[in-house]
Amino acid sequence: MTILQQIITIAAVVLGAMVTRFLPFIVFPEGKEPPKAVRYLGGKLPYAVIGLLVVYCLKDAPASSTHGLPEAIAILFVGLLHKRKKNTLLSIAGGTILYMLLVQMVF
């Protein structure tokens, strides 16, 4: 790859990053109410994404040698921890740590 191609690639990446960062502020300026559809999607999409991630992460669990047991334990732990502490970062970190401990030391 030549220097010119590298410069063009870097410029395209920077331009793409800038457009995706600044476009929401241009389309929805401060003080202007976003459309109802955008507000609806903003409220529903995070839950849909989490659901999609859970399904993706568990797709191969039944076929594994542990039959999805460490995954099920970690999911229950995350649910209980989040219900008790109501802290998303703590729940994610706790579930990840527990899952890694189970996979590396127990199963």
Check if the beta carbon of residue 81 is closer than 8 Å to that of residue 94: yes
**How far apart are the C-alpha atoms of 25 and 23, rounded to whole Å?**
5
> 59: which 2 tokens?
């797709």
pTM of the model: 0.58
Q: pLDDT for 8-27, tens place per residue?
A: 999 999 999 999 999 989 98
pLDDT tens readout for residues 21-68: 999 899 888 888 889 998 999 899 988 988 898 898 888 888 888 888
CA–CA separation, 91 vs 86, rounded Å?
8
